[in-house]
Structure formats: C-alpha cells, structure tokens
Amino acid sequence: MAIVSWNTRALLARCLESLKPDVNSGIADVWVVDNASTDGSADLVRERFGWANLIVSEENLGFGSAANLAASKTDSEWIAIANADIAVHARALKSLLEAGARDPRAGALGPRLRMPNGQTQHSVGAFPTIAFSLLHASGAFRFRSPIADRFAFPGRWDSERRRRVPWAMGAFLLVRREAWDQVGGFDERQWMYAEDLDLGWRLSQAGWATRYEPLAVVEHEVAASTSQQFGAERAPLWQRATYGSIARRRGPGYARAVALINLVHALSRWPLVIMRSRGHADAGERRAAYVRWVRVHLDAVARPER
C-alpha cells in the first residue's frame, strides 16, 4: 500500500487509522511517501504509526514519482496506490482483491469513492479520444442512456454496477504487480494529474483491463492537497496534463484534434455561461473561470505537450 502525502496531517492520520485493521490481519503493508510536507505529517507517522514504512522526500516528487518509489520497495502481488485524503471501509481491500481474482486480466481495480457529502464520486472515465470528444460536444450524454453509461459520463453512469471501465481515478487504485511491471508504473512526466488516465491507457494497450468495484467503499475528501497548492487552477492543470498524455500516446496531431473539438464546444457554450451567471454575486469569477478553461484548449491546439 503506497500512500502519497503532502500537508494533510489530520487526513493522513484518518487514512492510516482506517488501514490498521488490514495491516493487523496481514492484508496490507503500508508505505507512506511524504512529499516534503511542512505540517508535521512525517513526525505524525513516526510518533503514532510506527507500523507504517515512511519515506521522507526533501522535495515534492509529485504523485506518480512518489507512488513509483514506494512500489519499488515492495514485491507484493498487488500494489495499492492512494492519496492521503482517503479512508477505507471494512472489507474494501478484500472486495477489490476478490474482484481481481475473478478477472485475471484486470490489471487495475478502482473502488467506489464516497465524497464528504455522502455521494458517490465520479471516479471512472472514457479515454479522451476524438470519437468521445465529438460525442461529448454533440450532447449525446445529456441524458442517461446506454451510450452515456458505456462511456462512464459524469452524472450519467450507473455507479452501482461492477464492470470493466477504460480507466479509474488514482485517489485509490489497486494494481496487479504483473501489469504494473509490464507497463513500468506511472509515467513520471505526469508530475501531477492525469497519471491515472495515462496508466489506464497503457494498461489497455498492453492487454490489461481496469475494473470498477462498487462493493469496495473508500471515503475521499477530494483534492485536499491539490486545492492548497493550485486552488482554482486545479481543473485547467488537469486538462493540460491530459493533453500532454494524449500527445505522448497518440501524437501531437491527435491531441490538437481533441483540443480543437473541445475548444469549439467550449466557445459554443459561452452565451449560455453568460446567461446563467447573470444575477449571481460571483458572476465575474464564473466567467473568468470559463475563460481560463477555454484558454487551456486554445493553448493545447498550439502546443499540446508541455
């Protein structure tokens, strides 16, 4: 179990407390990689959770590199990668392991992520292909439908159904060691964001599947670290990282095509954004956020890999 930590001391404590039963039963061996936190997270692990293996980095390695570092220290059949802002429910790890045993070609498994408001987080997705981008822009996912569920579109997918999915969010991800080693773990060029999407793509290309298992429930605080560091820029940074992954895997031309489709779609929605923001106290902020979003697509058309 590799937990990547950066300045979330209280949440890290909650995370480790939730994992203690699995450690005591021998299911999990926990490694914490602290990415140069300044809030005493490393001291917390030393003082209260001596059973956890601790790696203290003098610099922020990013998520993928830190996870790779912890994975390199172990040789277990499965590697669980997680943010520090999660807490596992009882039997969550067992449910994921059982799902992996039922599907020998499952290279990665994602649990149901539950947000603080009790709702299931949208934690799986389609690959950002030209076809998906065109379907998105066309409004094909506006209502619940078999096609929307197939592409795991936000708000339009059946979160109660276990099945194979294109990729799953790295807030908590169980990866089969054989598959992990075959694709080389996370691509460390994805310093932050889209490393899970990129991993899912490479697993798929290597013949491995990703599964979603709703019986495995994991609480997720959502962006506890990244909101501190990036604030309102989180979504644009994720999109830039996604374009970078597309450019590396499918080529810059393909990434530009996806970005152009998204740009045209975003521009077509500008009048709707203006209309919906009228009368709101934060109308200027909403419009500025959308302008930032449009600029990401525009920049990616010119230079998708950064």
Q: Is residue 146 included in any domain, yes or no?
A: yes
Q: Is residue 234 included in any domain, yes or no?
A: no
Q: Is residue 123 included in any domain, yes or no?
A: yes
Q: Is residue 266 included in any domain, yes or no?
A: yes
Amino acid code (one letter) for 283: A
106 in the same domain as 42: yes
Last residue of a domain, one of 228, 263, 293: 228
* Residue 49: domain span: 2-228
- Cβ-contact 91, 99 below 8 angstroms: no
264 in the same domain as 154: no
Looking at the 3D structure of the chain, how many domains does it have?
2
Q: Which residue has the tokens 């602290």?
A: 34
Q: Is residue 83 included in any domain, yes or no?
A: yes
Single pTM value for the model: 0.90
Backbone angles phi, psi at 28, to 5 degrees: -125, 145
152 in the same domain as 6: yes
C-alpha span between 75 and 29 (Å, rounded): 11
186 in the same domain as 50: yes
Q: Is residue 242 included in any domain, yes or no?
A: no
Q: Is residue 293 included in any domain, yes or no?
A: yes
220 in the same domain as 105: yes
281 in the same domain as 137: no
Helix, coil or strand: residue 240: helix
Parallel, antiparallel, or unpaired: how do β-strands 167-168 and 106-114 relate?
Answer: unpaired
The dihedral over CA atoms of 287, 292, 298, 304, expressed in degrees to the nearest 10, equals -150
194 in the same domain as 293: no
What tens-digit pLDDT sequence spans the chain (306 residues)? 999 999 999 999 999 999 999 999 999 999 999 999 999 999 999 999 999 999 999 999 999 999 999 999 999 999 999 999 999 999 999 999 999 999 999 999 999 999 999 999 999 999 999 999 998 888 777 666 677 777 777 767 889 999 999 999 999 999 999 999 999 999 988 877 899 999 999 999 999 999 999 999 999 997 555 454 545 566 778 889 999 999 999 999 999 999 999 999 999 988 887 888 877 777 778 888 888 888 999 999 998 876
Cα–Cα distances (Å) from 62 to 34, 50, 135, 182, 287, in that order, read 10, 24, 33, 22, 30
Q: Is residue 174 included in any domain, yes or no?
A: yes
CB under 8 Å to 280, separation ≥6 — which residues?
286
163 in the same domain as 103: yes
Q: Which residues pair with 151 in a beta bridge?
A: none
- Cβ-contact 65, 191 below 8 angstroms: yes
Enter the DSSP assignment of 65.
Answer: H
Last residue of a domain, one of 228, 262, 287: 228
271 in the same domain as 222: no
48 in the same domain as 92: yes
CB under 8 Å to 306, separation ≥6 — which residues?
240, 243, 244
Last residue of a domain, one of 193, 228, 263: 228
Amino acid code (one letter) for 42: A
HEC letters along 123-186: CEECCCCHHHHHHHHHCCCCCCCHHHHHCCCCCCCCCCCCEEECEECCCEEEEEHHHHHHHCCC
How far apart are the two ends of the chain, measured CA to CA in Å? 31
Q: Which long-range contacts (CB under 8 A, 24 or more apart) does 132-135 make?
A: 133/258, 133/261, 133/262, 133/265, 134/261
184 in the same domain as 91: yes
Extended strands (E) in the chain = 2-5, 31-35, 53-57, 78-83, 86-88, 106-114, 124-125, 163-165, 167-168, 172-176, 209-220
Cα 200 vs. chain centroid, distance in angstroms?
10
The pair of three-digit structure tokens given for residue 129, joined into one six-digit string: 């292909």
202 in the same domain as 289: no
